[in-house]
A and B are shown apart, each in its own frame.
Chain A
């Protein structure tokens, strides 16, 4: 049962990274791609209808972690206190900048909102990467299931590296999305950036392999224990190859979808490597939280296994429906 919820949680996190990832990336590249106020207006117009729906995946993921692994939720959120509160402030600033930008038609208001949107998006992508890095690296859990990490300990070298990689990956996603959804000079610029960033993201991910092995040796064991999991990294490679081919052919929507698949496959690889841990301790240390000792009671997980898939199926259904409606027609 715990394993099932591990998979469902990994799915939600991947859904969040794939959907909100591209609008975070678009935000981080806001000024690099949108050189004029009008172009920046078109970037926010392109993601305006969807960012909120995208962001709800993180709420669903957080709530599902709370539901299925309350002990891990309590330990991780209190231990990473500073990082998460900063995430909250950034989410507030970014959401308001996006939603309220078009409310006042004044150049200074637009500039202020653009700046908040850009900085918050870039820092968010980075900080979320840092949080992921800390989970992969493991945290100094005590016997009681709690730990303490000061701000500078949260920003350790490995997590900083993951944060930078996360920023590059979301920027690659964002530029590819805008390449598919915008035209004119803005679209041309987005295509140029996408052509650079998709390979750059591959380089960043490859560089990350050795440090990841360094902080968590047993990560590769999963491929020996369960050889079928090799499909995840292979799928990531195939999807990135497909993304590059699509870029060369000029099918930017395909490139965007392929890159999204690649990002999901990378996350799946990571999840397979971490399993069965939800919140691991440092390498070789005790008291890590896994799918058994952090899971909620059996009845809770069994009941939720009934309604949860229904809810997510509905969500996916109307997600794709609204996407189709809003994305119908030529790009902005």
Chain B
């Protein structure tokens, strides 16, 4: 790796990882807030659909919860937007040869995102956050749905671009550049649906555990009991649903795709150094690339073969059958990232099951241990999601487009963007993002400390209360409606 490529990789790793912490929650919360708003707007005392059968008091609590989460959402969304723009730019600034090579294909997905989803989402967010009192309750509810659709559509197009990099289809071309041959194949990439489902379920799980953590925090403090109950009910239920979906079928199918289309990545994930019939499923162990062995491992015999081929004696290709120049650059990184994701995912499912059981029996609020666990669990959901992305991205190496273009051949030419320039901007991003993180945490802590009843701190306030005429006399030429 020549040094400018290394710097470009470090910079993209930093900017994409930091960025994804925010849309992860945005997409999850958008779903849950749309749910809160739907219950509040459509709920009736005698509604036929069970979750919508709510009394006026309960609907009020759901509406208040939606308002409170909108404050968190607004700060989170703002950071997500401003840290997202650098990613699109960096395809050109730092990965010019990649853009040149693959732009004719993945330009579709990124432009679809920019044109459809991003505009949609940003404009409706403005309406949702500032529209309280300016628009009818119905329009406000619809804008919450539009925000959900917009943010999940954004996610879809981004995953479509990534899915093509993981498993290129529908292209043609020479060694210098590829072009789109079939948009249909591009958008029906077999890699895409499961990666998308797995990713979005991970986002929903993040929103759910964050919501449950907030409920647990107020419950343990004995503050805001009604709000806390709504958060725990919605959060724990969603956590159970999505953490289960995360493992089966989405995680299982995602792993099956890796097994089918990216054997080196799959072997690294599982720590399979040798090709075996009846391969074991490794729970823990330390991969040693020097000796090409998995040390101190704890494994279930034959299970991996069963999971991949549905036969206990099925063959699993190991790294020894793959030329080392096609191995991921760091086999241990892929292995650990994958095992951290799976390990945390398993623990989170267990917690969700216990909490959901207690919720169902009406004993959750009395169980302080489980409330503590719920309160402390949410950072691990973030870690699991990021670890999943590290598995996907480091697993695809040494390729930037699997099987077609190597990462070392994809960065901007060193004469345009020398390593020194890259180091300067990498440090700049690191400093700027550190500051952004501090400000973000400060604001979130403030919002949480003030709680959902805070009357003077409304989301709708950009200076003055909306809908009220300004303090001064109206201007002679007001904007016509």
Contact = CB atoms under 8 A, between A and B. Distances in A.
A215 interface: no
A183 interface: yes
Interface in A41-62: 41-42, 44-45, 48-50, 52-53, 55-60, 62
Interface string A285-323: 000000000001111100110011001101100110010
Contacts of A300: 104-105, 107-108, 179-180, 183
A330 B464 contact: no
Contacts of A115: none
B119 A74 contact: no
B412 interface: yes
Contact of A50 (B83, B126, B131, B477): B126
Nearest to A298: B179
Contact of B116 (A57, A144, A254, A311): A311
B3 interface: no
Nearest to B183: A303
A99 B93 CA distance: 27
Nearest to A256: B479
Contacts of A102: 461-463
Contacts of B103: 66-67, 70-71, 73-74, 296
Given A104-B446, A307-B112, A329-B478, A77 B118 contact: no
B201 to A, nearest CB: 26
Interface stretch (A145-153, A161-169, A196-204): A145-153
A78 B93 contact: yes
Given A49-B126, A73-B92, A332-B464, A324 B481 contact: yes
Given A76-B92, A77-B89, A81-B421, A318 B124 contact: yes
A324 B123 CA distance: 12
Contacts of A81: 93, 412, 416-417, 421, 425
Contacts of B114: 56, 59-60, 62-64
B428 interface: yes
A152 B125 CA distance: 40
A303 B108 contact: yes
B182 A299 contact: yes
Interface in A71-117: 71, 73-79, 81-82, 84-85, 87-89, 91-93, 95-96, 99-100, 102-105
Could you tell me the dominant secondary structure of chain B's interface residues?
helix
Given A53-B126, A60-B114, A84-B89, A299 B183 contact: yes
Interface string A128-142: 000000000000000
Contacts of A60: 111, 114-115, 118-119
Contacts of A311: 112, 115-116, 119
Given A183-B474, A325-B135, A78 B413 contact: yes
Contacts of A144: 413
A66 B91 contact: yes
Interface in A148-206: 148, 180-184, 187
Contacts of A253: 477, 479-480
Contacts of A180: 475, 477, 479
A187 B479 CA distance: 14
Contact of A96 (B107, B436, B462): B436
A110 B246 CA distance: 43
A146 B96 contact: yes
Contacts of B107: 63, 66-68, 70, 296, 300
A221 interface: no
Interface centre among B463, B464, B469, by most chain A C-beta atoms within 10 angstroms, is B463
A95 to B, nearest CB: 4
A156 to B, nearest CB: 17
Interface string B404-417: 00000000110111
Nearest to B416: A78
B416 A330 contact: no
B122 to A, nearest CB: 5
Contacts of A85: 89, 93, 425, 428
Contacts of B180: 296-297, 299-300, 303
Contacts of A87: 89
Interface in B96-141: 96-97, 99-100, 102-105, 107-108, 110-116, 118-120, 122-127, 130-131, 134-135, 139
B75 to A, nearest CB: 7
A325 B79 CA distance: 25
B77 to A, nearest CB: 8
A275 B222 CA distance: 67
Contacts of A58: 85
A105 B454 CA distance: 14
B181 interface: yes
Contacts of B46: none
A252 interface: yes
A330 B470 contact: yes
A23 to B, nearest CB: 13
Contacts of A322: 123-124, 126-127
Given A74-B103, A250-B476, A59 B85 contact: yes
B478 A330 contact: yes
A28 to B, nearest CB: 19
A280 B416 CA distance: 17
Contact of B108 (A74, A304, A332): A304
B20 to A, nearest CB: 16
A226 interface: no
A55 B88 CA distance: 14
Given A63-B111, A325-B131, 6 more contacts: A52-B125, A59-B85, A60-B119, A85-B89, A148-B416, A331-B478
Across the A-B interface, give the 8 residue pairs with the lowest CB-CB distance, nearest first: A70-B103, A77-B92, A297-B179, A63-B114, A45-B463, A67-B107, A184-B472, A48-B462
